[in-house]
């Protein structure tokens, strides 16, 4: 059960070594290495950058219903992101002593958009729109194979530049810059194990959102409906053969019903079947309290519960969905909440991506002569207690002339 609910994040030494070589090559050689890897891994044939004219032309190929869905999803994401931008403030902590928090947008960010099994325009919207709402001047997107729907999303989100590049080489280009791709202040967005390893490697030189492992869903329920729960488990599992999908319930009857529904609905082959066979399951508990405790221990990316009473007891989850009508899949696309979320227990330390991730919070201090004198004794006492005599002298030279 521990492996099912709280799997350890295992390091893949071979992947890390391969990624380290790729990142070093791109950092050293720039475009020459980047193009070489993009042709090898991404199938790059044309130029690295997608022009605005090409974006507009390809976006026109997208069915009108999909373009309308992109616009609606973008509107909802913007509405949520506007509420997430931190506000500046200023406070007087003592006579002559004020502290201000100044909010400054990042200058340039890189949004990584996977291009593997399926095109993911939703991931572009979820990363680029909060950045734009936060006031980021230049939003750069990277996608190994940008399909027309991704280009339509890029236009809707106000992406500044779009590049046909992915993988560890794409992350390295964003982190360190090349002749074609500008260096960014922060890289955000999901990706495969090579992307995750590259983001972790460059994080000492470039900001990242968080390490993102395989996707996961935990559902805590006492009443079902069983068919809906089964559909949600399968939906999340179809993302990745390593996806985790778990039901926790005190009801053995519901557990058996969901198991039957999953078996009946599961495709004969594909990532959903692989994921549920390897990382799916049902945990039957003695009580709903135990079920919630296990969910909190798991700290899942997505957590679904029956009602607000359960929700009130949740303390660790990347994103929480309350009630059987609050389908987690809706959060992937159209609710407006962000679907770029912490995995592998990282929700113990932070929530999902938000507009707050795209600003700098700068603290500004102002002291008058009387203000410094008022706190001078405090600073002097603490500095000397720590054995930092020069610190104390820095105050004394001002106060004593």
Closest CA to 303 of 282, 322, 320, 323: 320
Residue 11 in this model has a pLDDT that exceeds 80: no
Q: Which two tokens stand for residue 340?
A: 């770029």
Average pLDDT, the chain: 95
What's the pLDDT tens digit per position in 200-228?
A: 999 999 999 988 888 999 999 999 899 99
Question: Mean per-residue pLDDT for 70-89?
Answer: 98
- What mean pLDDT do residues 10-31 have? 93
Where do the domains of the chain lie, and which CATH numbers do they carry? 13-92+104-209 (3.40.50.1980), 214-351 (3.40.50.1980), 368-399 (no CATH)
Q: Which residues are catalytic?
A: 301-302
User: What are the tens digits of pLDDT across the range 113-124?
Assistant: 998 777 899 999
Q: In 3-state terms, what secondary structure has residue 246?
A: strand
DSSP of 173-207 = HHHH--SSSPP-SEEE----HHHHHHHHHHTTTSE
pLDDT at 2: 66
Structure tokens at 187: 């890289």
* Integer Cα distance of 344 and 305 in angstroms: 19
Query: For residue 45, what is the DSSP state?
Result: -
Confidence bin at 5 (pLDDT 50/70/90): confident
Q: What is the Cα–Cα distance from 356 to 350, expressed in whole angstroms?
A: 12
pLDDT of residue 207: 97
At residue 401 the predicted structure's pLDDT band, cuts being 50, 70 and 90, is confident
Report the percentage of the chain scoring pLDDT > 90.
90
Judged against a pLDDT cut of 60, whether residue 8 lies above it is answered with no
pLDDT digits (tens, 9 = 90+) for 134-184: 999 999 999 999 999 999 999 999 999 999 999 999 999 999 999 999 999
Q: What is the pLDDT of residue 7?
A: 64
Query: Rounded to two decimals, what is the model's pTM?
Result: 0.93
Residue 127 has pLDDT above 70, yes or no: yes
> How long, in residues, is the chain?
401
Q: What is the pLDDT of residue 10?
A: 64
- Contact between residue 266 and residue 273 where contact means Cβ atoms under 8 Å apart: yes
What is the mean predicted confidence (pLDDT) over 350-359? 96
- pLDDT, average across residues 282-296: 97
Q: What does the pLDDT average to over 8-35? A: 91
Dihedral in degrees, nearest 10, Cα atoms 346, 348, 351, 357: -70
């Amino acid at each position: 059960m521990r492996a099912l609910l709280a799997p350890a994040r295992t390091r893949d030494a071979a992947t890390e070594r391969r990624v380290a070589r790729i990142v070093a090559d791109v950092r050293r050689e720039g475009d020459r290495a980047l193009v070489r890897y993009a042709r090898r891994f991404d199938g790059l044939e044309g130029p690295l950058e997608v022009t605005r004219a090409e974006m507009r032309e390809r976006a026109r190929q997208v069915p009108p219903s999909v373009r309308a869905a992109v616009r609606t999803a973008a509107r909802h994401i913007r509405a949520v992101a506007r509420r997430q931008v931190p506000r500046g403030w200023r406070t007087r902590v003592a006579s002559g002593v004020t502290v201000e928090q100044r909010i400054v947008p990042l200058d340039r960010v890189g949004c990584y958009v996977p291009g593997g099994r399926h095109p993911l325009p939703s991931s572009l919207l979820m990363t680029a729109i909060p950045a734009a709402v936060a006031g980021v001047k230049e939003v750069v997107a990277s996608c190994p194979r940008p399909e027309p729907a991704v280009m339509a999303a890029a236009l809707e989100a106000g992406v500044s530049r779009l590049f046909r590049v992915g993988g560890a080489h794409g992350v390295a280009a964003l982190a360190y810059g090349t002749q074609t791709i500008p260096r960014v202040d922060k890289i955000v967005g999901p990706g495969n194990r090579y992307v995750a390893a590259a983001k972790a490697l460059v994080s000492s030189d470039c900001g990242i959102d968080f390490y993102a492992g395989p996707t996961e869903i935990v559902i805590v329920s006492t009443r079902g409906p069983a068919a809906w729960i089964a559909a949600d488990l399968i939906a999340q599992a179809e993302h990745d053969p390593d996806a985790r999908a778990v039901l926790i319930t005190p009801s053995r009857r519901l557990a058996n019903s969901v198991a039957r529904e999953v078996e009946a609905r599961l495709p004969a082959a594909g990532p959903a079947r692989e994921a549920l066979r390897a990382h799916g399951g049902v945990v039957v508990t003695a009580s709903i309290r135990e079920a919630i405790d296990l969910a909190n221990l798991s700290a899942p990316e997505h957590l679904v519960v029956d009602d607000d009473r359960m929700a009130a007891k949740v303390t660790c989850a990347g994103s929480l969905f309350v009630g059987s009508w609050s389908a987690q899949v809706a959060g992937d696309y159209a609710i407006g909440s962000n679907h770029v979320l912490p995995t592998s227990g990282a929700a113990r330390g932070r929530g999902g991506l938000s507009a707050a991730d795209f600003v700098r919070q700068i603290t500004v201090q102002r002291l008058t002569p009387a203000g410094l004198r008022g706190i001078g004794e405090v600073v002097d006492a603490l500095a000397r207690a720590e054995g930092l005599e020069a610190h104390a002298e820095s105050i004394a030279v001002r106060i004593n002339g």
